[in-house]
Structures are given as C-alpha cells and as structure tokens.
Amino acid sequence: MSKKKDGIMVILSSPSGAGKTTLVNLISKNKGFHISVSHTTREPRPSEIADKDYYFINQEKFENLITNEEFLEYAKVFNHLYGTTRTPVIEKLEKSENVIFDIDWQGADQIKNKKLNYKLITFFILPPSKKVLFERLSNRDMKDKLIVEERMKEFSRDVLHWINYDYVIINDNLEECYSKISNLIEAEIDNGSKDYDKEYIRKHVDNLTS
C-alpha cells in the first residue's frame, strides 16, 4: 500500500485526437498535478515548446537513456520513440506531489506492471464518434493531412486497449468529461472507487470500430 504522504500517479491514454492532452492540461491547472514531460525523437509541432511539451532529443540520446536505465517506461509510437524518465517522477511523488502522464497504452502497461509503491489511477479517453475524432485531428494538424490519416488508421487498434484501464470516459463535452475525471480522482484519493458502465462503453467501442 502507498504511504499516506506520497503523491499519486494518474495516467491518461487515448487514441490520438480524443483530447487527452487538453484534459491533462486542465487537470494540471485546476488540480495542481505536475505534468510528466516525456522525451521523444519526433519533431516538434509548430505550437510546441521544447522542454515544456516534450524533451525533443535524437535517437542516439534516446538510446543512451535506455542503456542507462533512466526510463520508467518507453515505447515506439507512430514510428518514434517516447519515454518517461524515472527520477523527476519519483522525486515529486516522494514530496507528496501528484503527477499526471499523457502516455500510450504500452507505457501505461509498463508502469502498471512495475507495481510501484504509489497510488496509480488509469483513465482511457474515447471520442464521441469517429467523425468527431477526424474533425478534431484535422483542426489540430491542419497542415499535415498525412498525420491525420496515419492516426485515423491507428485508431481501431488503439481503441481496443480500453479494457485494461481503471476508468473509460467519453470526451464529448470537455467540461463534463473533465468533471467526471476530477470526481473519480477525488473519490479514489478518499479511498473509495467508483464503477463505470462497462457495457455502455463496450457498445460505444463497437460503434466506433464498426
């Protein structure tokens, strides 16, 4: 069991474009969670700020971090490497500070399997429909149709991982989605846990993938 003074870890994963980065930022702003800044070998997007959104590094540096066993988790996503270094996370948790992660299902699995001595809550975010997902991706990555196509192609595979998360939330209205996540985090911190309607989500995923 985690000691009472330790911070907690919250992971948000989703198919690309469902809104997890937006939600992670809201949770950080409103609830004071530290966002875990990942390392990646992909190129920055025009709106991204180095060392705040990601540590943008080359393949060689990434491989050095692997060799030195600095990663809590890492994975290949969309042909690029992404990873979370261990030290900044553990330092915050030990200071009773909470940390939120925007990482994919591979990273979530790795952190879960490590069975660290800190409370961990995992959320999987779904879009209301494939059409809405396409619109969100197209708005965000306006200049790069290839990215949108690539991420839509991955969607059907990514979405199947919902089953391994503590909670699955549909991000239709942003405020409502945020409130649901926030309430669940509070309930978990108070040592309660809430259920979600797994059958409803299963049907939603069936619709999304049909």
Per-residue tokens: 138:
């197209």
Instruction: Find the binder of ligand ADP among 18, 26, 120, 148 (CB under 6 A).
Output: 18
Report, in Å, the least distance between residue 169 CB and ligand ADP.
Answer: 11
Rounded Cα distance between 128 and 9, Å, is: 26
Residue 36-65 contact track with ligand 5GP, rule CB under 6 A, x = bound: --x---x-----------------------
Per-residue tokens: 51:
């060392």
Q: Does 22 bind ligand ADP (CB under 6 A)?
A: yes
Q: Does 16 bind ligand ADP (CB under 6 A)?
A: yes
**68 φ, ψ (degrees, to nearest 5):** -80, 5
Other Cβ atoms closer than 10 A to 122: 20
Q: Does 82 bind ligand 5GP (CB under 6 A)?
A: yes
Strand boundaries in 78-117, DSSP class E: 80-85, 99-102
* Span interacting with ligand ADP, options 64-72, 79-87, 115-123, 169-177, rule CB under 6 A: 169-177
Q: Does 122 bind ligand 5GP (CB under 6 A)?
A: no
Instruction: Please name the residue that has the structure tokens 């993938």.
Output: 209
Helix, strand, coil share of the chain (percent; to 5): 45, 20, 35
- The site that binds ligand ADP (CB under 6 A) totals a number of residues, namely 14
Q: Does 136 bind ligand ADP (CB under 6 A)?
A: yes
Q: Which residues bind ligand ADP (CB under 6 A)?
A: 14, 16-22, 136, 139-140, 171, 173-174
